[in-house]
Structure 1
Amino acid sequence: MQMPFCVWERSPVPPENAITINGTVVVAKNLGLSAPGKSTTLRLFSGTQIDHGTRKGKLSAEAPLRGGKKRKHGKTSTATYHVTFVVEAEFGTPGAVAVKNGNRADQFFLRHVQLELAHDRTIHFECNSWVYPYKKTSSDRLFFINTSYLPSKTPEALLLLRDEELRSLRGNGRGERKDWERVYDYDYYNDLGNPDNPDHVRPVMGGTRTQPYPRRCRTGRALSNTDEVTETRKHVINLDFYIPPDERFSPGKLAEVLTLGVQAVTHFVVPEMKTMIQGNNFRSIEQLTKDLYTRPSQQPAADGEVMERLKTSVPSHKTYKQVAKNVKDNPVKFPIPQVIQHDLEAWRSDDEFAREMLAGLNPVAIKRLQKFPPVSSGGKRSSITAQHVESQLADVTIEMAMHQNRLYILDHHDYLMPYLRRINTLGVCIYASRTLLFLKADGTLKPVLIELSLPATDGYGDGEISRIFLPASHGSDAHLWQLAKAHVSVNDSGYHQLISHWLFTHAAVEPFVIATRRQLSAMHPIHKLLEPHFKDTMQINTLARSILLNAGGILERTMYPGKYALEMSSAIYGDWRFTDQSLPNDLVKRGMASRDPTLPGGLSLHIDDYPYAVDGLDVWRAIDGWVRSYCAHFYHHDAEVAGDTELQAWWDDVRSVGHGDRQGDPACWLALDTVDHLAETLSTLVWIASALHAAVNFGQYGYAGFPPNRPTRCRRFVPQPGTPEMTQLEADPDKFFLEMLPDRFTATLGLALIEVLSNHTSDEVYLGQRATSTWTDEGELLQLLDRFREELRRVEKRVVERNKDPRLNNRRGPVKVPYTLLFPDVAGTEKGLTGRGIPNSVSI
């Protein structure tokens, strides 16, 4: 239950002792949103003068809104109201405003409140929040001024209000949450399955040693009577999960995401109609590209047969009309992915296969080989021999190559092997893989070999059957090598989507959002620092639980782990450490860099032309510099960090509850006992939410938009010599290859998803930006942000220069796609499928 703020009565202020304070109130008006109405009133709390009866700041009388002038702002619009407060001369300076929505049914979206004081002084309240009717909330909506205060330095008049507001946000942990409640609490991932359907039973993620997981936002739905642990879902696709109102998409973004979804569905529907006509397999690469893609300047209309089948397939005539209109107004096919824009065959090359491990959409998995032969976590040695490797290294021995930091591995073996037997009962054919690579003199990587492994066929023990594939360019060996690379790409696609993308960014950040709202007041400087990095994260995660991660959802239908996807990600989370998530620590842990205090940034990269790491370290240093200067502005001594009660409660919430399943590992977290530890912790969090997510998300369509380059599952194993399957491969290698990859339906469904995920929406706020310049009233902080923005612009220039340097072969590769995933795009002018730009938050 939320605490009431507006329970006091005020007598009129005598005219001889009164002053007036005028203000403006700005409300969002697009998409037919409700207006505040005549019954909406505001009250001011003094931030400097205490009412000794309430122990809070003095409270003004209610003041109604007047006017409501509308203005257009691009695709959005606002309405500006006026308000006049009459207060006593000794009222002091306002520190908070309480807004009462007197409407009986409708909420409105409040942008900001601004007050005009004497001597041309203004006070700003940045709101960006829904205000629900008082009848529903039984409380006014409270907003504090945009001045930051540490708990120990909060004006006495605001202390009790600060405490009451935080307690209201925590709730009581009981009951089902209602749309209008601003309550932040934790829960397990127990809402993905349906125990009433045997095919949709899923384990609860989180809260146990066997299934550890980050926490999600609690909704409080009733539990299923079948197992009494799984939260009920109203529908298979459930779009009405509760999240606190302030975490929802803005009205404008909601409309844009829905539009993107309709467009993606259109792109999916038309190829799917082709499936009905032509069958569910692509016959050739050329047919695949012809059926799926079109250039923006070439927008052919869907043929009559496709439209007729579409009419009979959609649920209603109204739906058909909406989809048909979208087919008419937009290209009926997917846009051409970057990876095949310049050359339809370059993706097949070994050079490109290896380059994408350094500059593709999952550049965070490759490691330097530090032990040969590779050994699994259970102590079992790989079947890779020195002869296999050295046959590909000319006159270089393994010992020499390892000593020179020239051997690398993409290892998708240990985490996958325990699940393979179960996964391969789902109608897919998946191996666990190891790929060894050699760093050549020109700075590029050469694939040396691929090991594909399966559990022993007896079904018992931990025995394995492994095959080694070596690079080849002619004959049957070349065909087998191409199939082996595809199986590696399938492994990497699953790891990318489940781990690098979902688990390490989306899921990892949500507990920080919840803890920040629960424990750090909106006036706390660290709250203000982090707030832009949480924009839309809980909303997009809620949608993921609704339609992507749920039993039978899109991820299970398109990615190879199927119903074991979240269970497998839980096993990997069991070894996750927050301290490893900073870019420098991550690079050192993977053996991609070594500590060297004599170099800028203190790191020496073992692959100089590693685009993700080179650009990423520039961005990391910019983030770290901004965060450290920000923290130093408020914390002058380590004791101030250790003594900050809200900050310590926040950190305890994150570690013991939000990521409570990882609290037993002391190396997982830094102690927040120094300014340095605080800055490193916050820099890591900002990095995860902004740059790391950008690096693994916005390249999805550019690389995985062409399914043969990044397949998500396989339907056939690599054939053995002398078998009928081998004969089929030799007779028509491309046909066998395409029949091994996802079918037309699965491929187009996956494309529809990543087309939406790879888009930048028009309301995106990029790294170095703030949604408004009035987020703080401290000029020094605004100057620090300007310096951060300027440093990011310098990073942009360096990225452009590197992409133009012909000596840096990994920047563009055979496919001629420049590496721009960590180009900050401070201006934020480009939207859509740009493959560049670092939004502040995990917002799509």
Structure 2
Amino acid sequence: MTASCQEFEVTVHTSPGPTCGTFNGLWLSLIGSQGETPPISVTAGHHLLPGSVSFKIGPLGQLILVRLRLEAQAGFPDVNWHCSRVEVRRPAGGSGPQVFLCDRWLRPADGDVELCSGQLCLMADEREEKLKLHRLKQLQHQQQLIRWRLFVSGAPQCADLSSMLQLGPNLINPPTLSPVRNPAEAHWKEDWFFGYQCLNGCNPLLIRQIRLLPPNLAVTSDMLRPFLPKRSSLEDELKKGTIYLLDYEILDGLPANLINGKQAYLSAPLCLLHLNQQEQLVPIAIQLQHTPGPQNPVFMPSDPGSDWLLAKIWVHCMDFQCHQLISHYLRTHMMAELCCVATLRHLPDQHPLHQLLMPHVRTSLQINLQARASLLAANGVFDQVKPHLEPQHKLLPAPHSACRFSLVLVWFWFPQAVGSGLMTVPSLLSRASARLCYRSLCVPDDLSDRGVDKLPHSFYAQDARRVWDALHR
């Protein structure tokens, strides 16, 4: 719909997409430095579609805010509306429109929603008193909705939410699944692929270059000489920087899971790797516990094939514990939620950092709430002892059955294959949080500190650095 008037022409844009429109009624007010219009019906008996509505008003002074309010219509379903923006133009002035960005879902329960225009700025740089008040009101509202809660003592706090409904539509992301090819099937037993996974697999954050051997790793230069270049020694390779270490000391002494009434076990491996002359990173020694002794031998590539393979499998299993609960949940999910809650509570929409951060962290509340209610809850997935796979398999749609089947396997068989259970989670998260530092979250510093930034086949390091550099240009 299009119309014109002497004072203002207002165009309300609905975002593209089959579900972005609504049957609800829309009321709109313009707020200026000298006054505001009464609420004006935009829909007026028809559904909300992109268009414009015009009206005459008294003096407003400088246009500052646009206020929107949805109202449910009798006889029509109450459907959320995704507003792209509102444009306000003075036809007589001949200048371009003043744009009030929205780009979010609105619903009747939200009440009055006010949109700003103009450049993003800090609170200290804001000159208009009404905009300052708008920011303060927004933060007060967000702080009432989003509160802090202690999930695990010693770990980052999380949002105090008990239901997905509390998130609202703008902090929820519809799930998407895509099939992933798995090259491990053909090479998983080979030493070079073990090292490749340490650099480029699901958890490339643990491996580090060393110049001194850990004192509790019971290896000598003579033991490892067969796996090093001719006329070289362990001491020479340490000096050259070709020796790397995986150290799972953080798992030492933690209680293990009870699976189907049987005790599971955790180890704290030390795995030594060597960058060979073919530029392959290969394991050369594995000790499964941190305390050396007769019951804690060092496994090497010269051991019987099944023994060496089983030692590597143990390392991978312990790497999985650290990946899922530290690299993945703590460093990714919990840190993203920490930033999301802090942003919502302390940075209004017009703050530059709010606009920069929220597209990346807005859905962390949804997925973390789901995790605490299922994976990490008492009697939840981590705490289950009986798998329920077959009924879920029957419900899988054919086009994505392979991908969804793998998801169901992980979800419902997780406690059947994981050595860490609910008893492990608090201690492990607390330990890992105490060791987390800001420098380890900065990609160039982390890669350099671990000595993997210049490894020829460290594709994670190369790609992560490219992404980091693009963000810092």
2:423 is aligned, of 564, 571, 582, to: 564
- The aligned counterpart of 1:548 is 375
My pick for the range that moved more, 348-357 or 391-400, is 391-400
> Is the alpha carbon distance of 1:336 and 1:66 closer, same or farther for their aligned partners in structure 2, counting shifts above 3 Å?
closer
1:623, distance to aligned residue in structure 2 (A): 1.1
1:246 is aligned, of 138, 163, 170, to: 170
1:471 is aligned, of 281, 298, 301, to: 301
CA distance in 2, matches of 1:465, 1:95: 74
Q: How does 1:195-274 map to 2 (within 5 A)?
A: 205=152, 211-219=153-161, 240=164, 242-249=166-173, 253=174, 257=176, 260=177
CA deviation vs aligned residue, 1:246-297 (integer Å, no higher than 9, x gap): 3122xxx3xx54xx5xxx9xxxxxxxxxxxxxxxxxxxxxxxxxxxxxxxxx
Q: How does 1:685-724 map to 2 (within 5 A)?
A: none
CA distance in 1, matches of 2:247, 2:336: 26
Secondary structure, in 3 states, of the residue corresponding to 1:453?
Answer: coil
> Does residue 339 of structure 1 match 2:166?
no
Instruction: Determine if contact 1:350/1:446 at 8 Å carries over to the other structure.
Output: yes
Secondary structure, in 3 states, of the residue corresponding to 1:517?
Answer: helix
1:470, distance to aligned residue in structure 2 (A): 0.8
> Is the alpha carbon distance of 1:530 and 1:240 closer, same or farther for their aligned partners in structure 2, counting shifts above 3 Å?
closer
1:367, distance to aligned residue in structure 2 (A): 0.8
> Does residue 65 of structure 1 match 2:53?
no
> Does residue 108 of structure 1 match 2:77?
no
CA distance in 2, matches of 1:169, 1:385: 60
> Is the alpha carbon distance of 1:21 and 1:490 closer, same or farther for their aligned partners in structure 2, counting shifts above 3 Å?
same
> Is the alpha carbon distance of 1:146 and 1:488 closer, same or farther for their aligned partners in structure 2, counting shifts above 3 Å?
farther
> Does residue 416 of structure 1 match 2:251?
yes
- The aligned counterpart of 1:187 is 149
Instruction: Determine if contact 2:326/2:429 at 8 Å carries over to the other structure.
Output: yes
Instruction: Determine if contact 1:113/1:125 at 8 Å carries over to the other structure.
Output: yes
Amino acid at match of 2:327: S
CA distance in 2, matches of 1:336, 1:617: 23
CA distance in 2, matches of 1:113, 1:422: 52
CA distance in 2, matches of 1:516, 1:480: 51
Structure 1 unaligned regions, length at least 5 = 1-16, 52-57, 71-77, 172-182, 190-204, 206-210, 222-238, 265-334, 376-380, 457-462, 594-604, 626-844
> Is the alpha carbon distance of 1:564 and 1:339 closer, same or farther for their aligned partners in structure 2, counting shifts above 3 Å?
farther
> Is the alpha carbon distance of 1:213 and 1:244 closer, same or farther for their aligned partners in structure 2, counting shifts above 3 Å?
farther
Amino acid at match of 2:190: S
> Does residue 446 of structure 1 match 2:282?
yes
Instruction: Determine if contact 1:114/1:122 at 8 Å carries over to the other structure.
Output: no
Secondary structure, in 3 states, of the residue corresponding to 1:96?
Answer: strand
> Does residue 161 of structure 1 match 2:21?
no
1:27, distance to aligned residue in structure 2 (A): 5.9
> Does residue 536 of structure 1 match 2:372?
no
CA deviation vs aligned residue, 1:163-185 (integer Å, no higher than 9, x gap): 222222212xxxxxxxxxxx222
- The aligned counterpart of 2:67 is 98
Q: How does 1:289-304 map to 2 (within 5 A)?
A: none
Identity of aligned residues (%): 23
1:613, distance to aligned residue in structure 2 (A): 1.3
> Does residue 580 of structure 1 match 2:421?
no
Instruction: Determine if contact 1:420/1:455 at 8 Å carries over to the other structure.
Output: no
Q: How does 1:310-709 map to 2 (within 5 A)?
A: 337-339=181-183, 344-372=185-213, 374-375=214-215, 381-393=216-228, 394-412=230-248, 414-420=249-255, 427-453=263-289, 465-472=295-302, 477-555=304-382, 557=415, 558-567=417-426, 568-592=428-452, 605=454, 607-625=455-473
> Is the alpha carbon distance of 1:336 and 1:160 closer, same or farther for their aligned partners in structure 2, counting shifts above 3 Å?
closer
CA distance in 2, matches of 1:410, 1:45: 61
1:442, distance to aligned residue in structure 2 (A): 2.5
Secondary structure, in 3 states, of the residue corresponding to 1:550?
Answer: coil
> Is the alpha carbon distance of 1:247 and 1:421 closer, same or farther for their aligned partners in structure 2, counting shifts above 3 Å?
closer
CA distance in 2, matches of 1:491, 1:554: 19
Instruction: Determine if contact 1:369/1:409 at 8 Å carries over to the other structure.
Output: yes
Q: CA RMSD in A?
A: 3.0
1:113, distance to aligned residue in structure 2 (A): 2.9
Secondary structure, in 3 states, of the residue corresponding to 2:359?
Answer: helix
- The aligned counterpart of 1:629 is none
> Does residue 127 of structure 1 match 2:102?
yes
> Does residue 148 of structure 1 match 2:120?
yes
Amino acid at match of 2:103: N
Amino acid at match of 1:467: P
Amino acid at match of 1:528: Q
Instruction: Determine if contact 2:452/2:458 at 8 Å carries over to the other structure.
Output: no
> Is the alpha carbon distance of 1:505 and 1:68 closer, same or farther for their aligned partners in structure 2, counting shifts above 3 Å?
farther
Secondary structure, in 3 states, of the residue corresponding to 1:66?
Answer: coil
- The aligned counterpart of 1:743 is none
> Is the alpha carbon distance of 1:69 and 1:609 closer, same or farther for their aligned partners in structure 2, counting shifts above 3 Å?
farther
Secondary structure, in 3 states, of the residue corresponding to 2:81?
Answer: strand
1:489, distance to aligned residue in structure 2 (A): 0.8
Amino acid at match of 1:166: L
Q: Number of residue pairs matched? A: 427
Structure 2 unaligned regions, length at least 5 = 384-414
1:498, distance to aligned residue in structure 2 (A): 1.3
> Is the alpha carbon distance of 1:162 and 1:240 closer, same or farther for their aligned partners in structure 2, counting shifts above 3 Å?
closer
Amino acid at match of 2:38: A
> Does residue 42 of structure 1 match 2:11?
no
> Is the alpha carbon distance of 1:62 and 1:86 closer, same or farther for their aligned partners in structure 2, counting shifts above 3 Å?
farther
1:402, distance to aligned residue in structure 2 (A): 1.0
